[in-house]
Every structure is written in structure tokens, then in C-alpha cells.
Amino acid sequence: MISRRIIRTKVLQILYAHVSSPEKTITQSESELHFSIRKTYDLYHLLFAILGEISDFANERIESRKMKNFPTDDDLNPNVRFINNRLITRLNQDKSLNDYLKLNKLNWSNYPNLIRGIYTTMIESDIYNAYITSAVDDFQNDRRFCEDFFVNILINNELILNELEEQSIYWNDDLDFTISMVIKTIKKFKSENDNNEYMMSLYKDEEDQAFTTILFRKALINDPEYRKIIETYTRNWDVDRVAIMDVLIMQLALTELIEFPAIPIKVTLNEYIELAKYYSTHKSSTFINGVLDRITKDFKDQGKIVKTGRGLLEG
């Protein structure tokens, strides 16, 4: 499922694109927001597919070497630990995964150089060599290798980073987030004979889907009001000179603080301060933290921020 952190990030990105393109309507930008989230979900499935593609490529190399005029002993008796990886085999048979890939025409068949390059990086890694020579040969070890493949090999691979940037502007910042979704899914698989469906849904529930739409709409609709609030609490600053990204991050934080009583204040503040660290200047997180902290204290006293539920009154 798409986490709320990813949702907040996508809303911020599309909000920035919206204010940078005055000709866009709210409806057009909202459609782009949901398309962007769907593209992340596409990438989630594509990352699983890449394991199968690399496994197929490895198998083709093994078969090709066996056909050499003078094959070596290694050619004739290759290490097949990777191509027999039980989790990869299980994923190749996963109906939910394969149905989605087929329905949305998602595959890596047109990217042989990418597959070859990632395969080469993989087999040169210490992780791979430790795996194929391990005395332990079971499903759990196969699963751990797949986790290591994503976390330690794929995530830093320049080939995949460049390719994702080429394929979709919506994937520029998605790899880390999406790999975390992949790892959570992998951990659910218990055995090669486990036929349960573990692929995540697009949203956790209807509440998360509504969160996406409301957060985006309310931030735009209340833009004039929230800008005045921000201006009031940045008296020593010319609000027009504050980085536009800082203003948008604070607008989204205000929207969440006011419109979502079930989300703890600390959660909201922490999430948007983290976004500031990634998407704005190096001083922005401290600046935004200070402004939001003052707004939150005053708005709580004035009853403009009301949190409900156990554990939500602190903050």
C-alpha cells in the first residue's frame, strides 16, 4: 500500500507543480496527483518483475555456456542457487503480481542492457557470492538474499536510477519509498508453498484515499487564508521572500493539523519537517519547525486545532 509519507510527498510535488502552472485547474492537478500515485504503484510491481528478468537472464547465460565448443567443468556444472531461488520462483507464479503486470503492460523486455548491467553488478557483489556459496540452502536464505538485492544492490545502482528517470518524471524520487514497500511485502512470504496473496493494495483503506484528496483540495482552497496565517507568524520575514517550497510545506502542515483530528500533532509536525529536509534548503527544517510550533500552540489555545482519540491530545 502507498504509505501516508508517500502520499504527503506526492501531494507536495503536485501542489508545487500546480502553483508553478497558473493555467492548471484544481481538477487537472488532482487528476495528476492520483496518476502520480498510481505510477508509484506501477513501480512497486515492476521492481518485483526485475527479479524474474534477471533470473531468466542468468539462466540463459548458463544454458549458453553449456553449448560452447569446449565447455569447462564450471560451464557444465554451474552454481544454480540464484536461478533456483525459491522466492523468485514463488513471485513468478504470483497471480496478483502477474495479472497486474499484464493488465498494465508493465515489463522489462525492452531493456536488455539494463538487465545485463544489474546482473553484472549483482554477481560481482560480496552479497551474491556469500549467498551462492552459503551452506544454508532454504527458503529463508533465498528470501534474505532478495531483501539484500533490493536494499544493497538495486537501490544504489546508477543504471536503474537513470532508467527510472528516463521512463517517468513521477519516479525521480520514488525508488527508496517503493523499495521499502517491496521489502515489507517480501517479509510476508513464509515458504515456497505459501499460496497466499501478499501484494499490497494501492491504498491501505478508503480513509487513506480520502486523506489524499482532502489534503490536496483543502490546501489549495484555503491557500489565501493559510498564507495570511504564515505571514502573521513570520513577521520578521518578507513572506514573498520565503522559499515557495517552505510556504507550501507549511500550508500542507496547517491543512493536516486543522482538517484531520485523528492524526496526532507530533506526527504531522515530524512528517513535514522531514519533507523540508529533503525538498527545501538546509535551513528550512529549523525555520518551518519554529513557525509551526508557534502556530500550533496558539491554535490549540484558541480551539482551532482539536485532536480526538486516545493519545492524540498531547503535542
Q: In this structure, which CATH number among 3.90.79.10, 3.90.550.10, 1.10.287.90, 1.10.940.10 belongs to the domain 222-301? A: 1.10.940.10
Q: What's residue 16's pLDDT?
A: 94
Cell numbers 542492457: residue: 113
d(CA 86, CA 83): 9
Among candidates 300, 59, 163, 234, which has minimal Cα distance to 312?
300
Query: Tens digits of per-residue pLDDT, 75-92?
Result: 787 899 999 999 999 999
Q: What is the pLDDT of residues 214-240, one digit of tens each?
A: 999 999 999 999 999 998 998 766 555
Distances (CA, A) of 242 to 173, 184, 226, 297: 24, 38, 14, 22
Q: What's the length of the chain?
A: 315
Query: How far is the CA of 202 from the CAs of 2, 209, 263, 288, in angstroms?
Result: 6, 9, 21, 31
Say what the pLDDT of residue 193 is.
Answer: 84
- In the block, which residue shows the cell 492520483? 34
pTM of the predicted model, to two decimals? 0.90
Q: Are 43 and 171 in contact (CB under 8 A)?
A: yes
Q: Where do you find CATH 1.10.940.10 in the chain? A: 222-301
Instruction: Give the model's pLDDT for residue 311.
Output: 45
CA atoms within 13 A on the CB side of 308: 6
Q: How far apart, in whole angstroms, are the C-alpha atoms of residue 139 and residue 85? A: 8
- 32: its cell numbers: 495528476
Query: Comparing C-alpha atoms, which of 47, 67, 50 is closest to residue 171?
Result: 47
Output the pLDDT for position 1: 79
Low-confidence ranges of the chain (pLDDT < 50): 311, 313-315
The one-letter code for the residue type at 10 is K
Find out whether 28 and 235 touch, Cβ atoms under 8 Å. Answer: no
